[in-house]
Amino acid sequence: MSENFDNKNHENQSDPNYWRSFEELYKDENTLKSKLDEFKDGVTDDFEIDKNLSGLSRRKFLALLGASAALAGAGCSDYRDKGEIIPYNKKSEEIIIGKANYYASTCLSCENACGILIKTREGRPIKVDGNPDHPVSKGKTCAKGQASILDLYDPSRLQTPMLKRGGSFSTSDWKTTDQEILKVLNSDPSKEIAIVTHSIISPTTQKLFDDFKIKYPETQIYSYELFDNFIKNSAWQKCYNQQNFPLIKWNEAEVILSLEGDFLGIEGNKVEQVRLYSEKRDIMKGSNFNRLYVVEGNLTLTGMNADYRLRLKPDAQYDFVMGLLNEIILNKKVSQISLDNNSVSILSTFTLDTISKKYGLSKDVLNSLVSDLIKNKGKSIVYAGRSLSEKVQIAVNLLNETLGNTTLYNNNEALINSNLTDYIGFEKLTANINAGKVKAVIHFDTNPVYHLPAEFKYWDAISKSTVITFATSINETTALSNFVLPINHNFESWGDVKVRTSFYSLVQPVISPLYNTRQKEAVLLTWLSGDSKNFSETIYVDYLKNNWKSTIYPALNSLFDFERYWAGILHDGVAKINEKQQISYNFSQVALTQLDNQSESKAGYTVTLQESYTIGDGRFSNNGWLQELAHPVTKVTWDNYAAISESTAKKLSLKTNDLIEVTYNSNKLKLPILIQPGVADEMIAVDLGYGRTNSPVVANEVGFNANILLSKNSSLSRWILTGASISKVNGTYEIVSTQDHHTFDDTLIQDIHLKRNIIQEGTLSQYNKNPNFIHEKKHDAVNMYKDFEYKGVKWAMSIDLNKCLGCGDCVVACNVENNIPVVGKDQVALGREMNWLRIDRYYSGTPENPKVSIQPMLCQHCDHAPCENVCPVVATTHSDDGLNQMVYNRCVGTRYCSNNCPYKVRRYNFFNFRDHFRGGYQEQASFELVMNPEVTVRSRGVMEKCTFCIQRIMEARQEATKKNTTIKGTDVSTACQEACGTEAIVFGDMNDVESKLSKYRNHQLGYVVLEEINVKPNVTYLAKLRNTFSEEV
Amino acid sequence: MNIDYSQELPVVEGRLTLREINDLIARPMDERPNKKYFIALSFTLSLLFIGAISVALTLYYGIGMWGNNQPVGWAFDIVNFVFWVGIGHAGTLISAILFLLRQKWRTGIARFAEAMTIFAVMCAAIFPILHTGRMWVAVVYLLPYPNQHSLWVNFSSPLIWDVFAVSTYFAVSLVFWYVGLIPDFATLRDTTASKIKKVIYSIFSLGWRHSHRNWQHYEKSYMLLAGFATPLVLSVHTIVSFDFAVSILPGWHTTIFPPYFVAGAIFSGFAMVVTVLIFVRKIFDLENIITINHLEKMNKVILATGMMVGYAYAMEFFIAWYSGNPIEQFVFINRAFGPYAWAYWIMVSCNVIFPQFFWIKKIRRSIPIMLMIVIFVNIGMWFERFVITVTSLHRDFLPSSWGYYTPTLVDFGVLIGSFGLFFTLVLLFTKTLPVVSISEVKAVAEGAQPSHNGGDH
């Protein structure tokens, strides 16, 4: 209806036929006017706040009413409760929201005490890496160090002091416990106070103990480790009259012979050793590789990386070394030192020939070993594992001396011997407690009930004394204690560490204690002060600083005053001191009297007890990330087992998962077996650290407690038990691994990784002859479409398989960085582990002498990614910097991408694993704190995979934008790359031809896995070269 | 028996009058269901209930309730989907293709087969939704709906083709089925004594008056719809096979898949139709309308398609060898001799060996033996999909990620539940709608279509 709003026109209108009222008919002025206004006066008034609100129009009023109701409804509703968000009242000087802070500290996960750099976000630590300024760790740390962050937030940590009253524990407070403990300490001074601790690596803790001894002279300190260098040190002392054990210049060794020594895996400071070792495996620096010989019983990480490996029962090592000495000294007439007749006659009873015949050692390998050792006099090293007996250690020292290898001992630095208590000492302690001569036993964060040999009946003994146990979470010892005192985590503590001459390392807290815990040293200080009231949060740091100020600082002649000096070393995490005296080592012939012509081997089975690669001596058993980290060799998770050779298993008619009973000195242990290639016959190898009986929920019922085989009477060493017996018992127990075990004799699948060119490898001589040898066969792949042109940065990764040792440190680093959940044994059994990065391990050769190939496998970020075109909802796409991306919110979880992924690197959330594992253990509040806030926590039903740490790329890009530059390949390093101790992983921009990455990518040894399917991966591998004599692999 | 093959066999036996045909087919709808019916229904409902619990568990806890793992991302979920879609194919083939080919013998079985198509597609349609990890978003994200994020589905993904193929198939089958039902609804409307039924039949018969005009339009639209449905018989399972064939996985990435899948679908569909019809013709006294000749003809189709499937099995091996691709070769050797060899040999014996008995006429016409063979074929075809899906996935490119899939109780529960749903729907169908097309059977009854050259067979 067109209506003319002009009054006048209206009057002129000539349609009088339509009228609605008489007023209209007679053209009443008001009516006509009101007809023009659609709404009445007062109905459409504008809302003017200055005016009286009562003049508000009805319409406006209703509109406002509606709007305010809607606002109140929507705005104030509890839509996704975000919890309390409180802005800083006073902004902290250091914290910028969204920006990480890094603090140097020291990892106390083991006695190696590496320097670490802790990344914190908004005041909470979220990631641990090595401290680049630290002279030993140099920016690297191991899996345990990486994962220790989980222990900080472990919801099952002890949160308040506990007292045992009438057989059951009740929570208490520090005041009560302090008072009651002081009463005990101050009672009868004729009775001993026993402090049981691990290695004392902190000078200030040592001073604290000394002060404690001054106040309580009846105090005795006992220290132990489940695995220590006791035998090595004592042999060293006998040979060289030196307390401190020298460090080895691994990076200068041309030939390394390791006897039962897992120096790349678990022995010594692994972080440093792998770095030095791999310096001689760097193809970019030329093909001057070292050659690694390993003679060992169980297949260890070091053994699987060996160029030549001989399998030999550990109790035959003495015969072997003596045979080697005989061959080198008597037959080949190589000698730096002259031996007395007695030693010569002993040596002559051992010949390499008889040993190689007896144990089936390859003649060729032995010949090349002998000639290599002689040829590389002074440039080789023979390393005896810490578990070998003193006799072997002395023989090995002699061998090194003979070959002039002492030049490879570092004369400037030495490991400090932490003077542990031996079993005799602990036996005395137990006797004293049993005799009622000990009024208090203080377990200084130790778990001797679990760690000490069963014969001591330590658990029985301590019931006769007052037991005070410092612990982070419950353990076998806390259960038998009268007082259980919760202590700060490493990251909540202060401290200093000295494990080597020439520098100190500092520990500083990066978060205030999460619970009502105290640092163990602070508690001792409080007791020293005699009154619970004297505790303050700074009690220990004051003591620490005072100690530094009075003892260490004055000797340094620092130019700065103490406070500035202290701030400086805290910042660096390291304090270097001038302690570079030349240490000289003079071999003492007297030690040779220890050698005899008695072979160590005994009839029956040999059992070797080994430290777990993941959970250490058991102290990490409640750490899900470490429990789920696959064993580097067997790929087993969540369990220990008896590794046994195929032929021995056949002899006992055993299959993997069958249960056996091991008997040694009347100690019996039932555990399942795993048929493991490369294990010597007539022996089993068992990891310790499992089978915790009183522990928080993660570790309970995981594995078998092989500590009960430990015996003070074991003849060779604590960890090598000879003359054990094994019998099959009924029943099976399922051990699970992340990789299927395939039989060796199935011709269909034998060496399939080589046939498919998944693993490409050769020998060094092959490479020297023809550097391009792996690319002799070319694939001519045809593209159907024109490839996308990547301008600017294109991310790529290269992994040097010559340097990769397969330890799995990168896997844990990835877990921590990318919020990867723990799924538990049942899910690993089904093949549902969530690790974005896995280490594939392949065997070839025979079950007796397997060749092991290692390959880290992660999303290959293919240019022609097969996952992308099959996703129905475009949840996985490609970015223009070459990344294959996952859009979690869009993913509906069809799993088609994973089916179509030739590398099977995609991981699917079959459950909400955080909820599924151990009844929602990972959903507890404190676990929220461990999450990296830059990485989405994935929900159930969503696919996920490696992102090349896109959060780090984005951060670097933001930085570049801020600086008005463009991002460069070198600006980003991935979590796995950062963690890799050997720098095997290189990441960067492949479009930058000058970059390190491009050099790796275009190297002649570089190859992509499954090249023939033409998916064009952006991850390349450098083929492994074995440094063997012949060209054959 | 001496049969003169120059003459067509009577499609309807027993010289039934038109009235008798009416009554015979409409009888189940007029009688109250008996005790046996309720026993059968409670059995199928129990199966359905087991399925419902299994689905509820899956929805509540996640796909982890199933045995699926890395690397076997698809297992029972997709196996069941392909199996049920395959079952559906017989119906469309019988009603559409045989209609166009003027195969008069189809009339006795077409209705039932079509109904089974619809029920089977309903069973199948559960799985693509259920197998996604986040069904609640999958039902939305899998459709190309307009949205402000400019998010669109991925038209290069075969799973999206699936969504369209299956929904088109379901829609066309439903319409085709319904159009065929209209004259029967009218017949029922005219004969029923119940007022309520009369109202319902009236509504669904859309005012059908059996007039010439009605018939003319009906015949035309029926033929057009048959023309529509015919390519679907081929296209749907072709597209389902693309779910596998488009991937790069050895054992899936095969060009033979479309014809192989279509043949397999018809094979399994006919087997299922025979299985059900054996019971239906007995229970509802339809032996004269669904005659032994019908069953024999279907057995011949089973024999023919079974041979095609067998040919495909052989050809896959040949091509694997001929391609010279070692990974492809490995997959097939592993199928026959690897950890899943048991499944492979169940498949081969059920699908290739047992149907060979149908060469023998006596067996083709023997109800008990026939029943045994078609049940074997049903099992075999389910295993075919299992073999394709699981054995290809469980050992693919990298030996490091090889695994083994073991189904869980929930897996079986969902499978059982899908059978429960199918047979519940079949049972309800037999009591609510004419299981045989009244009008079409009348049209082929003796003397219905007199012709100058005798016509009295």
- Which pLDDT tens digit goes with each residue over A951-970? 999 999 999 999 999 999 89
| Chain B residues 101-160 within an 8 A CB cutoff of chain A | 131-135, 137-138, 141-142, 151-154, 156-160
3-state secondary structure of B170: helix
Minimum-distance CB partner of B248 among A831, A895, A900: A900
pLDDT of residue A233: 87
> Per the structure block, which two tokens stand in for B456?
């009295």
**pLDDT classification of B448: cutoffs 50, 70, 90:** low
3-state secondary structure of A294: strand
Contact pairs from chain A to chain B, CB under 8 Å: 176
Strands (E), A747-837: 761-763, 795-800
Task: Examine the domain organization and report whether A211 and A234 are in the same domain.
Answer: no
- Mean pLDDT of the region A447-474: 90
The yes-or-no verdict on residue A348 having pLDDT over 60 is yes
| Chain B residues 205-264 within an 8 A CB cutoff of chain A | 243, 246-249
Minimum-distance CB partner of A941 among B133, B142, B330: B133
**pLDDT classification of A257: cutoffs 50, 70, 90:** very high
Q: Which residue of A has its CA nearest to B337?
A: A748
The structure tokens 């390093």 sit at A973
Separation between Cα atoms, residue A238 and residue A594, nearest integer Å: 9
The yes-or-no verdict on residue A564 having pLDDT over 80 is yes
Assembly ipTM: 0.91
**pLDDT classification of A495: cutoffs 50, 70, 90:** very high
Q: Do B151 and A874 touch (CB under 8 A)?
A: yes
Of A322, A460, A298, A456, the C-alpha closest to A382 is: A322
Count of other CB atoms within 10 angstroms of residue A558 = 15
Query: Are A678 and A309 within 8 A, CB to CB?
Result: yes
pLDDT of residue B374: 93
The yes-or-no verdict on residue A190 having pLDDT over 80 is yes
**pLDDT classification of B216: cutoffs 50, 70, 90:** very high
Taking contacts as CB-CB distances below 8 angstroms, the residues of chain B near A906 are 70
- Mean pLDDT of the region A116-136: 91
| Helices B76-92 and B409-432, packing angle to 10 deg | 20
The structure tokens 């604290």 sit at A208
pLDDT of residue A3: 46
pLDDT of residue B456: 46
Task: Examine the domain organization and report whether A275 and A364 are in the same domain.
Answer: yes
The percentage of residues in chain A with a pLDDT greater than 70, rounded to a whole number, is: 93
Task: Name the residue range of residue A276's domain.
Answer: 230-415
- Mean pLDDT of the region A166-170: 86
Residue B5 lies in a domain: no
Q: Which residue of B has its CA nearest to A752?
A: B399
| Helices B107-130 and B158-191, packing angle to 10 deg | 140
Find which of A901, A943, A1019 to mutate to test the B interface (most B CBs within 10 Å of its CB).
A901
Q: Do B248 and A902 touch (CB under 8 A)?
A: yes
pLDDT of residue A91: 77
Instruction: Tell whether A898 is within 8 A of chain B (Cβ).
Output: yes
**pLDDT classification of B277: cutoffs 50, 70, 90:** confident
The percentage of residues in chain A with a pLDDT greater than 90, rounded to a whole number, is: 49
Per-residue pLDDT tens over the stretch B391-434: 999 999 999 889 899 999 999 999 999 999 999 999 999 888 88
Task: Name the residue range of residue B184's domain.
Answer: 18-144+153-443
- Mean pLDDT of the region A593-602: 82
pLDDT of residue A39: 60
Q: Which residue of B has its CA nearest to A877?
A: B154
Q: Which of A737, A754, A781 is the last residue of a domain?
A: A737
| Chain B residues 313-332 within an 8 A CB cutoff of chain A | 326-327, 330
Q: Which one is predicted more confidently, A81 or A679?
A: A679
Residue B326 lies in a domain: yes
- Mean pLDDT of the region A530-543: 89
**pLDDT classification of A531: cutoffs 50, 70, 90:** confident
Residue B448 lies in a domain: no
| Chain B residues 327-366 within an 8 A CB cutoff of chain A | 327, 330, 333-334, 337-338
pLDDT of residue B59: 93
Per-residue pLDDT tens over the stretch A888-901: 999 999 999 999 99
Task: Examine the domain organization and report whether A302 and A282 are in the same domain.
Answer: yes
Residues facing A192 on adjacent strands: A438
- Mean pLDDT of the region A71-90: 67
The percentage of residues in chain B with a pLDDT greater than 90, rounded to a whole number, is: 56
The yes-or-no verdict on residue A552 having pLDDT over 90 is no
Taking contacts as CB-CB distances below 8 angstroms, the residues of chain B near A896 are 73-74, 157, 159, 243, 247
Q: Do A874 and B133 touch (CB under 8 A)?
A: no
Taking contacts as CB-CB distances below 8 angstroms, the residues of chain A near B70 are 831-833, 898, 904, 906-908
Q: Which of A415, A450, A476 is the last residue of a domain?
A: A415
Separation of CA A505 from chain center: 20
Structural domain count, chain A: 4
Instruction: Tell whether A311 is within 8 A of chain B (Cβ).
Output: no
- Mean pLDDT of the region A103-125: 91
The yes-or-no verdict on residue B446 having pLDDT over 80 is no
Of B253, B398, B250, the C-alpha closest to A755 is: B398
Task: Examine the domain organization and report whether A360 and A448 are in the same domain.
Answer: no
- Mean pLDDT of the region B233-238: 88
pLDDT of residue A745: 66
**pLDDT classification of A243: cutoffs 50, 70, 90:** confident
The yes-or-no verdict on residue B4 having pLDDT over 70 is no
The yes-or-no verdict on residue B6 having pLDDT over 60 is no
Going by their DSSP bridges, the two strands A495-497 and A503-507 should be labelled as: antiparallel
The CATH code of the domain that includes B288 is: 1.20.1630.10
Q: Do A903 and B397 touch (CB under 8 A)?
A: yes
Per-residue pLDDT tens over the stretch A258-270: 999 999 999 888 9
Q: Do B157 and A842 touch (CB under 8 A)?
A: no
Closest approach of B346 to chain A, Cα-based (Å): 22
**pLDDT classification of A5: cutoffs 50, 70, 90:** very low
pLDDT of residue A54: 64
Instruction: Tell whether A751 is within 8 A of chain B (Cβ).
Output: no
- Mean pLDDT of the region A29-56: 63
Per the prediction, chain A carries an average pLDDT of 87
Query: Are A143 and A629 within 8 A, CB to CB?
Result: yes
pLDDT of residue B21: 78
- Mean pLDDT of the region A314-332: 88
| Chain A residues 851-880 within an 8 A CB cutoff of chain B | 855, 857, 866, 869-874
Separation between Cα atoms, residue A755 and residue A316, nearest integer Å: 37
Closest approach of B278 to chain A, Cα-based (Å): 38
Task: Examine the domain organization and report whether A191 and A257 are in the same domain.
Answer: no
Per the prediction, chain B carries an average pLDDT of 88
Per-residue pLDDT tens over the stretch B189-204: 888 888 898 999 999 9
Task: Examine the domain organization and report whether A475 and A530 are in the same domain.
Answer: yes
pLDDT of residue A609: 92
Phi, psi of A795 (to 5 degrees): -75, 140
Per-residue pLDDT tens over the stretch A809-830: 999 999 999 999 999 999 999 9
Query: Are A641 and A671 within 8 A, CB to CB?
Result: yes
Find which of B72, B398, B402, B408 to mutate to test the A interface (most A CBs within 10 Å of its CB).
B398
Instruction: Tell whether B404 is within 8 A of chain A (Cβ).
Output: yes
Minimum-distance CB partner of B400 among A842, A899, A902: A842
Which residue type, as a one-letter code, is found at position B93? L
- Mean pLDDT of the region A233-249: 84
Find which of A750, A835, A878, A899 to mutate to test the B interface (most B CBs within 10 Å of its CB).
A899
Separation between Cα atoms, residue A314 and residue A387, nearest integer Å: 9
Q: Do B132 and A874 touch (CB under 8 A)?
A: no
Minimum-distance CB partner of B393 among A755, A899, A1009: A899
Count of CA atoms in the C-beta half-sphere (13 A) of A814 = 26
Task: Examine the domain organization and report whether A209 and A264 are in the same domain.
Answer: no
Residue B110 lies in a domain: yes
Per-residue pLDDT tens over the stretch B308-343: 999 999 999 999 999 888 899 999 999 999 899 999
Structural domain count, chain B: 1
Per-residue pLDDT tens over the stretch A784-813: 888 888 988 999 999 999 999 999 999 999
Residue A543 lies in a domain: yes
pLDDT of residue B131: 93
Task: Examine the domain organization and report whether A411 and A439 are in the same domain.
Answer: no
Residue B120 lies in a domain: yes
Q: Which one is predicted more confidently, A105 or B31?
A: A105
Residue B455 lies in a domain: no
Closest approach of B228 to chain A, Cα-based (Å): 27
Instruction: Tell whether A831 is within 8 A of chain B (Cβ).
Output: yes
- Mean pLDDT of the region A380-402: 90
pLDDT of residue A8: 47
Residue A122 lies in a domain: no
The CATH code of the domain that includes A242 is: 3.40.228.10
pLDDT of residue A15: 55
The yes-or-no verdict on residue A327 having pLDDT over 90 is no
Task: Examine the domain organization and report whether A184 and A296 are in the same domain.
Answer: no
Separation between Cα atoms, residue A137 and residue A140, nearest integer Å: 5
Taking contacts as CB-CB distances below 8 angstroms, the residues of chain B near A832 are 64, 69-70
Going by their DSSP bridges, the two strands A761-763 and A1024-1026 should be labelled as: parallel
The yes-or-no verdict on residue A988 having pLDDT over 80 is yes
Of A855, A854, A812, the C-alpha closest to A836 is: A812
Per-residue pLDDT tens over the stretch A137-155: 889 999 999 999 999 999 9
Per-residue pLDDT tens over the stretch B67-116: 999 899 999 999 999 999 999 888 888 888 888 888 777 887 888 888 98
Task: Examine the domain organization and report whether A671 and A624 are in the same domain.
Answer: yes
Minimum-distance CB partner of B142 among A753, A857, A872: A872
> Per the structure block, which two tokens stand in for B434?
């004419």
Separation between Cα atoms, residue B217 and residue B207, nearest integer Å: 13
Taking contacts as CB-CB distances below 8 angstroms, the residues of chain A near B138 are 892-894
The CATH code of the domain that includes A460 is: 3.40.50.740
Task: Examine the domain organization and report whether A609 and A695 are in the same domain.
Answer: yes
Q: Which one is predicted more confidently, B363 or B91?
A: B363
Task: Examine the domain organization and report whether A473 and A388 are in the same domain.
Answer: no
Return left, alpha or beta for A763; rule: phi > 0 is left, psi -120 to 50 is alpha, else beta.
beta
The yes-or-no verdict on residue B149 having pLDDT over 90 is no
- Mean pLDDT of the region A633-650: 92
**pLDDT classification of A412: cutoffs 50, 70, 90:** confident
pLDDT of residue A775: 85
pLDDT of residue A44: 55
Per-residue pLDDT tens over the stretch A736-791: 998 876 666 677 788 888 888 899 999 988 888 888 888 887 777 788 888 888 98
Find which of A892, A900, A939, A1015 to mutate to test the B interface (most B CBs within 10 Å of its CB).
A892
**pLDDT classification of B371: cutoffs 50, 70, 90:** very high
